[in-house]
Amino acid sequence: MRASSGAYRDVANRCSEYLSVPKNSVSNCSDFDKKSCVTCRHFNTNNSFCKIDSYDNIVRNTTT
């Protein structure tokens, strides 16, 4: 599920399961202060997907 940074921010802002990662555990994220899937504990950065499958549900519900 690779998406644009804007899409990741939009989804994270709509996600009730969003849990931010501790700031010191993210070394390569320049937009850490912004709520985004990539700054969520449920996001697998190696494979770019949501571990709890919230991303697809949120996208599907916002486009209908």
Domain ranges of the chain: 5-62
How far apart CA 64 and CA 42 sit, in angstroms, is: 24
How far apart CA 22 and CA 24 sit, in angstroms, is: 6
Cβ-contact 55, 11 below 8 angstroms: yes
Per-residue model confidence (pLDDT) at position 34: 81
Residue 54: half-sphere exposure toward Cβ, Cα within 13 Å? 21
Model confidence pLDDT, tens digit, residues 1-24: 578 989 999 999 999 999 998 866
Token pair 């320049």 in the structure block, residue: 30
The tokens for 40 are 């969520």
Residue 33 confidence (pLDDT) above 90: no
How far apart CA 36 and CA 7 sit, in angstroms, is: 9
Average pLDDT of the residues of the chain:
85
The whole-number average pLDDT for the span 16-33 is 72
